[in-house]
Amino acid sequence: MKFLDLAKVYIRSGGGGGGCVSFRREKYIEYGGPDGGDGGKGGSVWIETVDGLNTLIDFRYQQHFFAKNGQPGRGQQRTGKDGDDIILRVPVGTEILDEDQETVIADVTEVGERILLAKGGNGGFGNLHFKSATNQAPRRANAGQEGVDRTIWLRLKLIADAGLLGMPNAGKSTFLAATSNARPKIADYPFTTLHPNLGVVGVDGAEFVIADIPGLIAGAHEGRGIGDRFLGHVERCSVLLHLVDGTSEDVAGDYRTIIGELEAYGGHLADKPRVTVLNKVDALDDDELEAAKAELEQEAGHKVMTMSGVSRLGVTEVLRALRSEITEDRLRLKPQEETKPWQP
């Protein structure tokens, strides 16, 4: 699947068709009254969230979405045809931003949500509308209302329940592959993962979605490595899973680096519930494991779990820990979501 999480899109709604000036012309009716029809409405541009999409890649190939104008009205009271609406289909979790890339126009988080981005212009009234007691033969009709031009940005923030964090090579993709249906690329060099991958995992009969994102290094917030922009994709997660490579020379330093990047990223990312795991323990003997674990716990200031994505030792326990955080978070969110008023 090709991935794109930011797209600039030009939209334009259709203008309304003009109203028509026309008079009845029939045999034996000398001064037929006005019969000019109204113009049709211009097409509107909408955005709709659909299921099963995890990328904005379609918007790389098409950036212009112009709805058709309404047709002008015609004689014999015929209304012009409306321009068809256009619907942009986007994945759940897409933010719609104004041209400045800052003002959020909408944030669509439910499947099937539909938002009007640019309303089509109304058609103009035909002269039939202007007939009055004093003017039986109006020569007046309205022009159609103009369409609206707009430039918007679409920014996708994937919706996952748990987000994977760690330095390059920490074993994030290996863990995702071991626990889910996802088949991310895995290799022993840094930055194997270049864009987020999602996988559905199951534990104890529950299912949830994990997002694997590219590794972070010190200075990622200043653009080092491949930067920290993919952290946006774990902003909505209930819990972060921080993997620390147990075979690293500096387990505490690796831990600190990631926390530092979370803090530098800002928002509430650093305050999110986190599960910290010492990974690759299959490659450590007992003493090494104990030492690395003690070092990591000291640095983190809390208990850490141990796991091997390769041998799968400890994997189920980690999934259970994630699940419990996710459940708690969903319970916390529920009442709030239910009372949220619908805003068009």
Ligand X SMILES: Nc1nc2c(ncn2[C@@H]2O[C@H](COP(=O)(O)OP(=O)(O)OP(=O)(O)O)[C@@H](O)[C@H]2O)c(=O)[nH]1
Handedness of CA 289, 316, 311, 168 (dihedral sign): negative
Buried b (16+ CB within 10 A) or exposed e, 233-242: bbbbbbbbbb
Of 25 and 312, nearer to ligand X (C-beta) is: 312
Considering the complex, what minimum distance in angstroms separates the CB of residue 217 from Mg ion? 13
Considering the complex, what minimum distance in angstroms separates the CB of residue 300 from Mg ion? 22
- Do the annotations mark residue 197 as ligand-binding? no
How many chain residues interact with ligand X (CB under 6 A)? 24
* Residue choice 190, 227, 253, 273 for contact with ligand X (CB under 6 A): 190
Query: Which helix (H) or strand (E) segment is 252 a member of?
Result: helix 251-265
Considering the complex, what minimum distance in angstroms separates the CB of residue 282 from ligand X? 5
Considering the complex, what minimum distance in angstroms separates the CB of residue 317 from ligand X? 14
Q: CA 293, CA 310: separation in Å to the nearest integer?
A: 18
> What is the token pair recorded at 267?
């928002």
Handedness of CA 328, 333, 336, 337 (dihedral sign): negative
What is the total residue count of the chain? 344
Within 263-292, which residues bind ligand X (CB under 6 A)? 279-280, 282-283
- Do the annotations mark residue 169 as ligand-binding? yes
Q: What is the DSSP letter of 237?
A: -
The binding site for Mg ion (CB under 5 A) comprises: 172-173, 192-193
Q: CA 131, CA 20: separation in Å to the nearest integer?
A: 13
Considering the complex, what minimum distance in angstroms separates the CB of residue 175 from ligand X? 7
- Do the annotations mark residue 191 as ligand-binding? yes
Of 193 and 276, nearer to Mg ion (C-beta) is: 193
Q: Which stretch binds ligand X (CB under 6 A): 3-11, 153-161, 170-178, 324-332?
A: 170-178
Q: Is 314 in the site for ligand X (CB under 6 A)?
A: no
- Do the annotations mark residue 167 as ligand-binding? yes
> What is the token pair recorded at 52?
């099963």
The CA-CA-CA angle for residues 265, 263, 172, to 5°, reads: 75
Binding site for ligand X (CB under 6 A): 166, 168-174, 186-188, 190-193, 214-215, 279-280, 282-283, 308-310
